[in-house]
């Protein structure tokens, strides 16, 4: 792997950074305080090419690859982790349709996601009784002529209150286990699609998270992705890419916390000199940088493998667990460097601290990542 970005990748990253500094960073703290999903930002994100980064231009996407996607999520998370997860899940939906949809589905749905016309996308897998054990989902789909009738519920659905396009996992036969699971494209305002209350979260407060209920929701059979029984395979493949997104988000949060800690350490004086001169502070900043650089390389390695068509499930899991746990260490040190000021909302590290925690939980908890990694290592399928 070449550790240097190409000129095109650097230009892409710099373009995202400029957009973020203008359209996202100035408002992130306000959105967080108000628990407000910034609907007005979504068309701007679409125009900037950030809602379907890996989809081809023929369907309205940007036509870039996994490395550019990783860079984009990192830049967004440096300013606003909430926006980064909104964008990541919308990209997840466009990627699912890009990889597994037929031509008609691609032409119908990806342009709406890419432009922001659909506002956002939602990936609906977790249920109240099962998160990590996705194969145990109970949401049921029954074929009825040219439609499927879906009943059930979903939990922790990012963008669920605003999305125009949902990817919904449901089983046609619970006795078949994973082999009975299907993936459906569901549009907003479909009769029987009921949005529950918005969750009031510790962090990511400007990201919308809701529960969903499906009551005799009728979905056209033409909205089935792939064939019956393909849903579990689609979900697992999608989660691998999603873990690169969370690793990249974690890098961005950690970078923001490190920058804030350095600024504060230079400005804050104690005993007549900046606290940046004290070894205790210097060592925390050094440890932060080691964590950040390690996480960045792991995330970009997984993205590079994906871009080159190589297996990357293990590497995505390694990047996700390492970067998410590193981000939590970094923000904890950043708060410590700020002292009491790190504990109040007037300083951004308080927000970074809250935002970082969930990265060890969603898209597969740290415990699940360790299961994925250990299975591949023990089986010895690759060196």
Active-site position among 346, 350, 363, 376: 363
Please state, in angstroms and rounded to a whole number, the distance separating the CA atoms of residues 264 and 247: 26
Please state, in angstroms and rounded to a whole number, the distance separating the CA atoms of residues 46 and 55: 12
Check if 363 is active-site: yes
Residue written as tokens 């899940």? 89
Please state, in angstroms and rounded to a whole number, the distance separating the CA atoms of residues 167 and 331: 33
Please state, in angstroms and rounded to a whole number, the distance separating the CA atoms of residues 142 and 187: 18
**4's tokens:** 């240097």
Cβ–Cβ < 8 Å for 135, 181: yes
Q: How far is CA 109 from CA 68, 93, 128, 154, 285, in A?
A: 22, 10, 28, 22, 45
Strand pairing partners for 153? 213
Q: How far is CA 327 from CA 247, 313, 369, in A?
A: 9, 21, 16
Catalytic residues: 363
């Amino acid at each position: 792997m070449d550790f240097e970005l190409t000129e095109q990748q650097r230009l892409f990253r710099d373009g995202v950074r400029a957009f973020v500094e203008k359209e996202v960073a100035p408002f992130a703290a306000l959105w967080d305080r108000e628990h407000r999903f910034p609907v007005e930002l979504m068309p701007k994100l679409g125009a900037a090419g950030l809602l379907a980064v890996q989809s081809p231009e023929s369907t309205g996407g940007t036509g870039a690859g996994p490395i550019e996607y990783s860079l984009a999520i990192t830049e967004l998370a440096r300013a606003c982790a909430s926006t980064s997860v909104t964008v990541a899940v919308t990209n997840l939906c466009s990627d699912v349709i890009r990889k597994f949809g037929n031509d008609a589905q691609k032409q119908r749905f990806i342009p709406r996601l890419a432009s922001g016309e659909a506002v956002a996308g939602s990936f609906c897998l977790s249920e109240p009784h099962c998160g990590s054990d996705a194969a145990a989902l109970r949401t049921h789909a029954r074929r009825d002529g040219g439609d499927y009738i879906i009943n059930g519920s979903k939990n922790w659905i990012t963008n669920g209150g605003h999305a125009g396009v949902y990817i919904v996992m449901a089983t046609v036969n619970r006795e078949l286990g994973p082999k009975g699971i299907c993936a459906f494209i569901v549009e907003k305002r479909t009769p029987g699609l009921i949005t529950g209350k918005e969750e009031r979260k510790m962090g990511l407060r400007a990201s919308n998270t809701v529960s969903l209920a499906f009551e005799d929701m009728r979905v056209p059979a033409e909205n089935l992705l792939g064939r019956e029984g393909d849903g579990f395979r689609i979900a697992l493949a999608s989660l691998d890419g999603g873990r690169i997104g969370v690793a990249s988000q974690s890098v961005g949060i950690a970078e923001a916390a490190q920058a804030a800690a350095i600024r504060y350490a230079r400005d804050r004086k104690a005993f007549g000199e900046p606290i940046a001169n004290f070894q205790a502070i210097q060592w925390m900043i050094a440890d932060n940088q080691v964590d950040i650089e390690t996480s960045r390389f792991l995330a970009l390695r997984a993205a590079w493998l994906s871009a080159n068509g190589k297996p990357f499930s293990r590497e995505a899991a390694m990047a996700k667990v390492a970067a998410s746990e590193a981000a939590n260490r970094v923000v904890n040190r950043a708060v410590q460097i700020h002292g009491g000021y790190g504990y109040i909302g007037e300083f951004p590290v308080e927000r970074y601290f809250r935002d970082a925690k969930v990265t060890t939980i969603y898209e597969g908890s740290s415990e699940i990542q360790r299961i994925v990694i250990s299975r591949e290592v023990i089986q010895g399928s690759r060196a």
